[in-house]
Amino acid sequence: MRIVMVGSGYVGLVSGACFADFGHEVVCVDKAVEKIEALKSGVIPIFEPGLDALVETNVKAGRLSFTTDLAQAVGEAEVVFIAVGTPSRRGDGHADLGYVHAAAREIAAAMNGFTVVVTKSTVPVGTGDEVERIIRETNPQADFAVVSNPEFLREGAAIEDFKRPDRIVVGISDERARAVMTEVYRPLYLNQSPLLFTSRRTSELIKYAANGFLAMKITFINEMADLCERVGADVQDVSRGIGLDGRIGSKFLHAGPGYGGSCFPKDTLALAKTAQDHDSPVRLIETTIAINDNRKRAMGRKVIAAAGGDVRGKKVAVFGLTFKPNTDDMRDSPAIAIVQTLKDAGAIVSGYDPEGMDNARQIMDIDFASGPYQAAKDADVAVLVTEWNEFRALDLDRLRAVMKSPVLVDLRNVYRKPELDAHGF
């Protein structure tokens, strides 16, 4: 099939490359000339394991191409995916749909023959109706169907998630789109991946409900971790003990410094705002948001307490800056609030991340090190914020030797206390 991805960011690029790998003919479109030129020359603008090889293979095979010319690409397409950003709107926290609406207008003007327009971006309930209205208004003669097909990709494991999904959710209001979308996902459907067809509004809500529930699960175990510290229990054993219950499950029950990234913060906020607008507030999600916001700075205060209650003029080494391992994404990373809390208290901060340094430099004013041991040189305290594999097997004797004081705050529970005690921490 001839498929167009409007937006060549994280979702558009990963989805486009995977669809091309299925054998479809895919054109990724973006307004950013420098991004398209980079992609044409084989430079991938984001870090995602395996993506560079996948793009290279499919470009060479002639199934994947990149352009800034939306009109020509859409004019030849059977299916057009909208995969543009929907950031939180400044001021009120609602999802900003400006890019989605602009894409819908451009697609409407360029489409030729029956076209299925698919919203891949994460959008509030009712957005599909608005996209349909915009297309009809812009091009009254257009023959089209608007579909909701949310993505469920985890950064750092996106290709695996796309090719072996738990489910594929497709929301339709025009039966003609059912056969088209079944054909788009035929390789996955043949591999027994569940293809769930729903109404369009239901599909839009599934994405927000899923992310809201996972954010709530993370926040629940974080609150249990705080309680464990007060009563002398072990949160990792609590997590295992409840996670073995099939009704609960073990995933997303890892205590840490709070959730971040491109999805959970903005999607929980957008869900809460949508619910308020429809006079059906989601109190659990509202509370989850508040707890998570407070937790990040609380982790900074935990580091200050570990350093004796005062970090003014002291050096703090931060291991890991991205919101999770295997990505260079800094959006809403807990490290941002933790570093700011430390700097507000007068600390000198030195940080290191295997992939996020370039992005971190744009939002953090700290000393950037070339590795964990350089970051920790003469440090009064070190804090493990992001559980990259590189930090899972630190040479603890070497780390102890370069530090001024043997204090390590492990916000991801990577190390066991007896192990650290044995190395003098």
Residues belonging to the active site = 263
Distances (CA, A) of 420 to 286, 397, 400: 38, 10, 10
Query: Which pair of structure tokens corresponds to residue 97?
Result: 């749909």
Q: Which residues make Cβ contacts (< 8 Å) with residue 240, sequence separation at least 6?
A: 250
Picking from 406, 230, 399, 423, the residue whose alpha carbon sits closest to that of residue 307 is 406
Using the structure block, give the residue that is written with the tokens 């190390």.
415
Instruction: Specify whether the CB–CB gap between 93 and 273 falls below 8 A.
Output: yes
Instruction: Specify whether the CB–CB gap between 11 and 121 falls below 8 A.
Output: yes
Phi-psi region of 304 (alpha: psi -120 to 50; beta: other; left: phi over 0): alpha
Distance, in Å, from the CA atom of 2 to the CA atom of 84, rounded to the nearest integer, reads 19
Distance, in Å, from the CA atom of 125 to the CA atom of 273, rounded to the nearest integer, reads 11
Distances (CA, A) of 418 to 197, 239, 381, 387: 51, 20, 18, 19
Query: Which pair of structure tokens corresponds to residue 300?
Result: 């900074």
